[in-house]
Amino acid sequence: MGAAVDPERQRIANMRRRAAALERHYRARGPDGKSRLAMAAGRLGGQKTASRLGCPRAWGLHMALKRWHGVPLPPEGGTL
């Protein structure tokens, strides 16, 4: 087993990583003020989830039903 990491050093390293990420997102703002990096990552994540759950349009409808009406998502690979 390796030596225990000093929690204070780990906390400082995490804060530095977070500050660097915030700076990258700040520099990558689009005309609407949103981070283009975050938007692209969200699109990719949504596409992966949609492809895993089936038709992207059906997935969007399922997500809207869950968000606004509390209808649970269908089981993976299944339909409502």
Letter string b/e over residues 1-17, b meaning 16 or more CB atoms within 10 A of that residue's CB: eeeeeeeeeeeeeeeee
CA gap 75, 80 in Å, rounded: 8
Burial of 65 per CB tally in 10 Å (0-12, 13-18, 19+) = middle
pTM of the model: 0.54
The pLDDT of residue 7 is 92
Q: Indicate whether 14 pLDDT > 80.
A: yes
Contacts of 36 (CB under 8 A, 6+ apart): 28, 29, 30
pLDDT in tens, 42-71: 888 878 877 776 777 887 888 889 999 998
Query: What would the mean pLDDT of 18-30 be, rounded to a whole number?
Result: 95
